[in-house]
Each structure stands twice: as structure tokens, then as C-alpha cells.
């Protein structure tokens, strides 16, 4: 399959990219790694009049420790996140999840900016941005603004980005030392998009659960936080009974789709199993780190 014809511009700075986007009046597309955009062009699902290539803009591929947060440039490739010492140290849950993103060849090209902007409901980075309370910095001709991950994902392949917006930075607030974490995923084959995934970060206040966040994906139109389950567990001692109640709340809250790969019932069952495993592993890691 070949893409429809388009004009091409290699932008040399962010300002030139957003200027060109605005000039295209909603008919232009940024291209970063091209790993999602090119298949969509080849299948003629998109027909932009111009592709604005941001790969030659210098200094957009970085991971920087900024004190209270880690700042990531939009052109940081998946492989850069996967192999970064800063990410492994600050966000081991993100480090682990990156190994599940597609295949190595795709991870070498795909970018964090592209993955978040594309917003596939079964992609790891959107869920991680929600779990880690990311702030996404967006630039347009009108200037810069920040959108929280919670407000960013509106539907499958739909975000709060507006016409003429470019995602220019992702900011992740650091987690307290000793936070427990876990990432669990099931896909039909290694490198496939997930049927479902669950990620957990957890703290403790004495022997009680605190600062719990549960992220899920593959079970709806966007990544989700399991807010009911978080409420059930927070302030409680970790026990089989409370975890079972939380898992039931998760299964009740999700509305997965049936597709070629799995039925809605299977996905609902699976997300509960993964949540149970992730909670147990995260709690065990927390106890290990704090004893």
C-alpha cells in the first residue's frame, strides 16, 4: 500500500513546525517516528495535504532531571526511555513497561510525543502518563500551555490537542523513595498490542496502604485509573478480602470491547487477574524496600 500524495516540510525549529501546522489549517500532520502515522497513510485512513517532519529539530530528544520532576522531550524514542538510567531509577514501572512496546525496530523509531498524541487505547505510554500524573506541555502559535494526562485522553485516537498544537514536553513528578510498583500485561504474542495491562504504584502509612494508583488499558476507549478500587484499598491493611473487593470494583467499572483478539468478557476477567497480580507484586516490593 502506498500513501496518498502529500507535500513535505522538514522543520528546523518548533516555531517553524507550529507555523506550518497553523498554515495547513487542520490539514497538516506532524511526523515523528512515523510508526503509527505511516500505516494510517498507507491504509488511506488519513489524507493530510502536508507532512511536517520534526525529526531534524535539534534538542527534542532528551530525558532531564529537573529537581522535582523528570522532563522528557517529544522526540525521545521508546528505546531511549527503555535504556535510560534516570527512568530506571525514578520510574522502574515505566522502565519495565517499555519492554512491552512493540518490537525493537519500532522502539528505535517511535517517540513518546507520537505515542501520546496518537493515543491508542492499548498503548503503554498513554497509560503510564496517566499513572504517573504527567503534565503535557503543548505549543501552538498562541504560545504554550499545559494539559494533565487526566484531561488529555478523550477517546480512542482522540486527545485534547487542538488544531495547530505540538506536544513539546512531558513532565513526570518524581515518586517518593521506596514506592512499590508493578506492571502486568497479556498480549497474544510478544510485541503485539496488549489485550489488557495493569500498572500499580503504592505507598504505605505504617501497615496501611497509601498513595495508591492503579492504571489500566486495553479495556476501554482510553487508558483509565481504577478510582473505585483505589478508594477501597487506601487506608486499609493489605489483605485477600480487600484486594478481592477492589478487583470486583475494577471488573464492574470497565466496559471493554469485543474484537478479533478477545471478547469483552475475557478482557473483563483478565483485567481483574492482572490487577490482583500487580497489587500483590507492588505490595511485596514496597515491603521489601521499607523493611
Interface with ligand FAD (CB under 6 A): 29-37, 39, 74, 101-102, 106, 109-111, 113-115, 117-118, 120, 123-125, 161, 166-167, 193
Give the residue with the Cβ less far from ligand FAD, 30 or 182.
30
CA–CA gap between residue 233 and residue 6 (Å, rounded): 52
List C-alpha distances in Å: 16 to 10, 38, 83, 139, 166.
9, 22, 31, 11, 11
Smallest gap from residue 38 Cβ to ligand FAD (A): 6
Q: How far is the CB of 207 from ligand FAD (least distance, A)?
A: 36
CA 168/CA 30 separation, integer angstroms: 12
Nearer to ligand FAD, 167 or 201 (CB): 167
Torsion of CA 40, 45, 50, 54, to 10 degrees: -30
Q: Smaller CB distance to ligand FAD: residue 23 or 34?
A: 34
Give the shortest CB-40-to-ligand FAD separation in angstroms: 7
Pairing of strands 63-65, 69-72: antiparallel
> In terms of DSSP bridges, do strands 135-140 and 158-159 run parallel, antiparallel, or are they unpaired?
unpaired
C-beta closer to ligand FAD: residue 61 or 245: 61
Distance CA 52, CA 29 (A): 6
120 vs 184 by CB, closer to ligand FAD? 120
Q: How far is the CB of 291 from ligand FAD (least distance, A)?
A: 35
Q: Which is nearer to ligand FAD, 111 or 204 (CB)?
A: 111
CA distance linking residue 162 with residue 281, whole number of Å: 39
**In 3-state terms, what secondary structure has residue 267?**
helix
Nearest to 257, CA basis, from 131, 121, 101, 157: 121
Residue 237 Cβ vs ligand FAD, minimum distance, rounded to whole Å: 35
Instruction: In whole angstroms, give the CA distance from residue 128 to residue 93.
Output: 8
> Number of C-alpha atoms within 13 angstroms, CB side, residue 276?
17
**To the nearest 10°, the Cα dihedral for 243, 244, 247, 253?**
-120
Nearer to ligand FAD, 135 or 161 (CB): 161
Tell me the closest approach of the beta carbon of residue 259 to ligand FAD, in angstroms. 15
Instruction: Write the DSSP symbol of residue 186.
Output: E
C-alpha torsion sign, points 180, 102, 59, 117: negative
Q: How far is the CB of 200 from ligand FAD (least distance, A)?
A: 19
Shortest distance in whole angstroms from residue 270 CB to ligand FAD: 16
Question: Nearer Cβ to ligand FAD, position 78 or 285?
Answer: 78
Amino acid at each position: 500500500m502506498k500513501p496518498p500524495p502529500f507535500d513535505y516540510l522538514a522543520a528546523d525549529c518548533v516555531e517553524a513546525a507550529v507555523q506550518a501546522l497553523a498554515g495547513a489549517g487542520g490539514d497538516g500532520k506532524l511526523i515523528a517516528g512515523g510508526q503509527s502515522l505511516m500505516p494510517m497513510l498507507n491504509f488511506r485512513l488519513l489524507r493530510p495535504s502536508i507532512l511536517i517532519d520534526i525529526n531534524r529539530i535539534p534538542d527534542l530528544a532528551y530525558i532531564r532531571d529537573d529537581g522535582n520532576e523528570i522532563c522528557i522531550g517529544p522526540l525521545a524514542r521508546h528505546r531511549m526511555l527503555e535504556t535510560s538510567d534516570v527512568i530506571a531509577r525514578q520510574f522502574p514501572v515505566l522502565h519495565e513497561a517499555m519492554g512491552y512496546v512493540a518490537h525493537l525496530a519500532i522502539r528505535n523509531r517511535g517517540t513518546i510525543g507520537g505515542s501520546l498524541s496518537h493515543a491508542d487505547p492499548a498503548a503503554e505510554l498513554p497509560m503510564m502518563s496517566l499513572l504517573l500524573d504527567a503534565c503535557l506541555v503543548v505549543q501552538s502559535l498562541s504560545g504554550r500551555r499545559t494539559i494533565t494526562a487526566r484531561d488529555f485522553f478523550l477517546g480512542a485516537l482522540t486527545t485534547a490537542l487542538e488544531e495547530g498544537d505540538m506536544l513539546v514536553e512531558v513532565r513526570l513528578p518524581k515518586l517518593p523513595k521506596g514506592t512499590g510498583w508493578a506492571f502486568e500485561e497479556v498480549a497474544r504474542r510478544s510485541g503485539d498490542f496488549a489485550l489488557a495491562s495493569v500498572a500499580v504504584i503504592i505507598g504505605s502509612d505504617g501497615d496501611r496502604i497509601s498513595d495508591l494508583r492503579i492504571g489500566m488499558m486495553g479495556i476501554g476507549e482510553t487508558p483509565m485509573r481504577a478510582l473505585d478500587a483505589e478508594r477501597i484499598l487506601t487506608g486499609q491493611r493489605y489483605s485477600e478480602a480487600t484486594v478481592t473487593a477492589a478487583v470486583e470494583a475494577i471488573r464492574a467499572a470497565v466496559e471493554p470491547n469485543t474484537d478479533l483478539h478477545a471478547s469483552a468478557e475475557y478482557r473483563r476477567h483478565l483485567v481483574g487477574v492482572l490487577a490482583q497480580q500487580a497489587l500483590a507484586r507492588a505490595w511485596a516490593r514496597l515491603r521489601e524496600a521499607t523493611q
